[in-house]
Structure 1
């Protein structure tokens, strides 16, 4: 089983990174092409293009200007330890043991607007470039056009290398759209996580994102290989809801809890 997840807007390197055998992003040439384009934008243009505040626009203008290769452990950080946010809070890679990183490198892929398709231990530098970004001028007009078939082809190679025909989709719709589902050489399993309140089941974004990270951790640490094995997922009080589930869209529910 191979897993795909989304990146995060928030990035923060760990206080002390463990000793790991890091790798280089496989689409670094394409990343450089995008960076060259982004470096030509002013902070104001970045803010308008990305719909972000002046402070965030200035921060990312500086990031783009400072972005440089080659990536080393001095100027870059493994992706799985750099991304923060709800999904990565659930994943909690900071507490991984070496065997967990080894398993994740084989089993987990992170979709990225700038880096394409990352392995967990691929070195990256800080950025913000959401997959749904539309460029104000020039071609291609958006990142879906830029990446085209490349990510799907590489994912298929990874599936073949892992000798699996199962893809666990724990990415957001925005990022999964960068792949071509009909061309993926695997059955796609897309779990949903819902909160029960008054007899109704609702998807609450904050909780669902964290649950995706929790399930990613569960699959990696428990060597999950089949859709049936996923039904054993029970972290944070989630349980498999047979009535709401289908073979390719398992649903996990729990009693509603307040945020905070």
Structure 2
């Protein structure tokens, strides 16, 4: 089993909590992306990043001094978004750390796919960013089937907790022998399941924490997830798509 999650825009440096024992598997591709980004003007970068002047200046400075090999932060501690706050890896016990080290994979526009303790440096590059590199029109084309092939070599079951922006860099390319289970967290509005962005991020992080605490190894075990008011809904679920509905409080 491999669990897929998205990264977060906001990142931090933490070289003290845990060592980063490994480098990302696709570092040569990351180096090519870094070269392409450094060749862009500040105005082009800000348009690519879709951010304000302050954030653009911060990330321009990061590009100018970026070192992909030294002073790195384990990926799981580097991202600061809501999903990671609810996962709370900084307080995992040894068993939970071992679990995510084996089972969790973080998708990234810049790094491709990351193991939790791969060393990374703060960057800004979303998977959907229209960056042309090496003749590829965008990052989906740049990464192609590389990420899917790497995952297929590790497992025959992918639990998809990533956003559509990131999951579509992998799922369309997976071979047929790899089972994909996508989890949706929503609320019933009439007869439709409606997802709310912030709540989804909270639930995805909480599910990773729950899986690590319970050492989940089989897809069916996920039906027991019951955090943040969500419960598995058999009526809305299929073998390849589990739906969790938030109960009225």
TM-score scaled by structure 2? 0.92
Match of 2:95 in 1: 99
SS at match of 1:235: coil
Match of 1:90 in 2: 86
TM-score scaled by structure 1? 0.88
Once residues 214 and 145 of structure 2 are traced to their aligned partners in structure 1, the CA distance between those partners, rounded to angstroms, is 32
Contact 1:44 1:54 in 2 (8 A): no
Contact 1:192 1:251 in 2 (8 A): yes
Note closer, same or farther for the CA distance 1:143–1:201 as it changes in structure 2 (3 Å cut): closer
Once residues 215 and 19 of structure 2 are traced to their aligned partners in structure 1, the CA distance between those partners, rounded to angstroms, is 21
SS at match of 1:243: helix
Report whether the alignment pairs 1:217 with 2:217: no
Once residues 199 and 42 of structure 1 are traced to their aligned partners in structure 2, the CA distance between those partners, rounded to angstroms, is 49
Contact 2:68 2:121 in 1 (8 A): no
Note closer, same or farther for the CA distance 1:18–1:238 as it changes in structure 2 (3 Å cut): same
Residue deviations 1:138-196 (CA, integer Å, cap 9, x gap): 7322101111121111111221xxxxx21100001111111143533411000110135
SS at match of 1:191: strand
Match of 2:48 in 1: 49
Q: 1:243 offset after TM fit, Å?
A: 1.3
Note closer, same or farther for the CA distance 1:67–1:252 as it changes in structure 2 (3 Å cut): same
Q: 1:70 offset after TM fit, Å?
A: 2.1
Report whether the alignment pairs 1:11 with 2:22: no
Once residues 133 and 47 of structure 1 are traced to their aligned partners in structure 2, the CA distance between those partners, rounded to angstroms, is 11
Contact 2:101 2:116 in 1 (8 A): yes
Q: 1:53 offset after TM fit, Å?
A: 1.3
- In structure 2, stretches of 5+ residues that fail to align are none
Note closer, same or farther for the CA distance 1:61–1:182 as it changes in structure 2 (3 Å cut): closer
Within 5 A, what are the aligned runs for 1:149-228? 149-159=145-155, 165-184=156-175, 185-196=177-188, 201-228=193-220
Match of 2:38 in 1: 39
Once residues 168 and 106 of structure 2 are traced to their aligned partners in structure 1, the CA distance between those partners, rounded to angstroms, is 13
Once residues 226 and 70 of structure 1 are traced to their aligned partners in structure 2, the CA distance between those partners, rounded to angstroms, is 36
Q: 1:128 offset after TM fit, Å?
A: 0.6
Instruction: Give the root-mean-square deviation of aligned CA atoms.
Output: 2.1
Aligned length: 248
* Residue 224 (structure 2) aligned to one of 232, 242, 246: 232
Note closer, same or farther for the CA distance 1:86–1:79 as it changes in structure 2 (3 Å cut): same
SS at match of 1:190: strand
Report whether the alignment pairs 1:140 with 2:139: no
Match of 2:241 in 1: 249
